[in-house]
Amino acid sequence: MSSGKPDEPNQLPETSSTHPFPIYNSEDEERLGNDVMQSSKNERQRPALEIDIKEMMIKSRRPPFPCCIYRVSPVLRDVNRKAYTPRTVSIGPLHHNNKNLKGMQAVKFQYLEQFLKRATKTAMLNELPHWGDPMGFVTSLDTDLQIGKHFSCLERFLGLLKSTDGDIWNSYAEDDLNHITLEELLKIILVDSAFIIELFLRFHFNPSRLTPFEIASIRMDLLLIENQVPFFVLENLYKEAFGSYPNIYPTILELSCEFFEPYNDQKMQIQTMKHFTDLLRTFHLPITTDGDHGSDGGTPENESKNREPDDSNEHLKSATQLYAAGVQFNISSSKCTLDISFIKPKLEIPCLHIYDDTEVIFRNVMVLEMYHYPDKTLICDYVLLMDYLINTSEDAELLVEKKIITSRLGSNQQVASLFNRLGRNIVKGINDKKLKGLVQALNDYYDIPWHKTRATFWLKYFSTPWKAASTTAASLLLLLTLIQTVLTGIAL
């Protein structure tokens, strides 16, 4: 509310009694000039600074098409560099310049040429182009100039990639593509996608033309998180080339599942995937009652609302400690890795087959979960649970004895070391509610006084063959001494 007085004028600097304006000396004039110049400079800089900050904020926004292919962070890579690096063939832009893989570039271009010939001849003849080759692809003896030197479909394929170039670019984490242009990316994507499609078709029509070693090495490289192309690219190219001939060619989804069938223990019917690492993760997820395997999982933004905080105090006794407390370890008949249950006192765990490439498989799926499914880290949760259970070679030996683990690593200590390494720098707590409840139930069972006492006694006197032998010998000696004492007393 106004006081009724007019606003007072701005205060002026002190003046002499005889001058109506301020009087400045030379120092005042110099200081005032500097202040005015600095103020003017700040005014000019402020808009540019604001624009720069706004541009940085806009660039940091997530694109509407979320990325799904990531470069592994140095913290994770340093634990095991080989687990994330392809050994035979590079797919996509992240390892394209790997000098150790340059030898496969010529092979990929050969596959590209065969793919283009196959697509062209199929369109011309409306049938699988045998030409005396049971493998179903064009041989090097083909001399048809119209087909061999002019690929009418190449322009269509390039146009198809250009129409989705934004989605392709955004499928990769932005910082990972700073070293290439969009044109270079599309070239890499076309060559590598054609290589994959032609490889799958050869494997389908006549896998005997590929050696088991070639198949195994390429298959493993195609599962690495850094070695991917978006699956929608494969789908689009395949449909453009062979989508009009369903009576001749299977779908690219069917071909993909066939190629990676050794990992599909549950014989899942896959509906979609983001790429092959995502497919591998899906193979290990439980199948729900509606047949959904949860591969879509949503983006981190959509899931963060339902995330529960990690329990920093979460822990679980080792397998030998739980066994000593009366927990019975049984092998589950389920084919799903995550189908673990505890009904007192039985803990049922599906069989895990451990091979030389098991660590590679787990690591790449775990990285995908950490980056893309941070609230559905089901494989990470499983690995953490196994890391809890397996601390020593004795823990691994127990699970091997119960047929919960079969291993080709050579020793139980290597099995224990495997899970101890997997948990390093990756997981901090179990997110899955079911596994959280299972861990709590096992801890509650162990904490029952009688169970804990029995476990302590067993670990102290019977946890190893040597302890058991010495305890048994001491008990027999004590028993014999007692018998001798009794007999001596009777004789007297």
Distance in angstroms (rounded) separating the CA atoms of residues 299 and 267 = 26
Cα-only R_g, the chain: 34
Share of residues in the chain with pLDDT > 90 (%): 54
What's the token pair of residue 458? 């067993």
The mean per-residue pLDDT over the stretch 86-95 comes to: 96
Q: Would you state the pLDDT for residue 242?
A: 92
Report pLDDT for 316.
92
Distance of alpha carbon 202 from alpha carbon 210, whole angstroms: 8
The overall average pLDDT reported for the chain is: 81
Phi first, then psi, for residue 404 (nearest 5°) are -75, -30
* Eight-state DSSP code of residue 262: G
Give me the percent of the chain exceeding a pLDDT of 70.
Answer: 71
Place of tokens 């893989």: 101
| Over residues 461-472, mean pLDDT | 65
Dist CA 243 CA 371 (whole Å) = 33
Q: Report the pLDDT averaged over residues 405-424.
A: 92
- Listed ranges 122-136, 165-179, 394-408, 454-468; the one with the highest mean pLDDT: 394-408
pLDDT of residue 57: 63
Indicate if the pLDDT at residue 128 is higher than 90.
no
62 has a pLDDT exceeding 70: no
Query: Residue 203's Cα: distance from chain center in Å?
Result: 26
Q: Angle formed by the axes of helices 276-283 and 231-242, to 10°? A: 110
The predicted model gives 392-416 an average pLDDT of 95
The DSSP line for 304-326 is GGGPPPP-TT-----HHHHHHTT
Given this model, what pLDDT does residue 6 score?
A: 42
Q: Residues with Cβ < 8 Å from 282, sequence gap 6 or more?
A: 268, 270, 273, 293, 294, 295
Determine which of 7-11, 29-33, 64-68, 175-179 has the lowest per-residue pLDDT on average. 7-11
Lowest-pLDDT range, 41-55, 68-82, 399-413? 41-55
Q: Which of 269, 242, 277 is nearest to 253 (CA)?
A: 269
Maximum CA extent, the chain: 137
pLDDT confidence bin for 19, thresholds 50/70/90: very low
Q: Has residue 127 got a pLDDT over 60?
A: yes
**In the predicted structure, residue 48 carries a pLDDT above the cut 80:** no
How much is the pLDDT for 200?
96
Task: Give 193-222 pLDDT, tens digit per residue.
Answer: 999 999 999 999 877 777 888 899 999 999
> Which residues, 6 or more positions from 229, have their beta carbon under 8 angstroms from its beta carbon?
91, 92, 189, 192, 193, 196, 275
pLDDT of the residue at 244: 82
**DSSP output for 414-435:** HHHHHHHHHTTTT-SS---HHH
pLDDT for res 468: 62
CA–CA separation, 399 vs 329, rounded Å? Answer: 8
Q: For the residues 85-106, what does the mean pLDDT come to? A: 95
Mean pLDDT of 95-122: 92
CA dist., res. 353 & res. 361, Å (int): 12
**pTM of the complete model:** 0.77
Whether the per-residue pLDDT at 36 is higher than 60: the answer is: no
Q: Which two tokens stand for residue 13?
A: 């600097």
User: What is the phi/psi pair of residue 329, to 5°?
Assistant: -90, 120
What's the gap between Cα 338 and its chain centre? 16
pLDDT at res. 176? 72
Q: What is the pLDDT of residues 3-16, one digit of tens each?
A: 444 444 444 444 44
Q: pLDDT digits over 381-390, tens only?
A: 999 999 999 9
From the number of C-beta atoms within 10 Å of its C-beta (0-12, 13-18, 19+), residue 417 rates as middle
Of residues 69 and 11, the one with the higher pLDDT is 69
The pLDDT of residue 54: 61
Which DSSP string corresponds to 67-126? Answer: --B-PPPHHHHTT-GGGGS-SS---SSTTTT-GGGTHHHHHHHHHHHHHHHHHHHHHHHS
Q: Which amino acid is at 16?
A: S
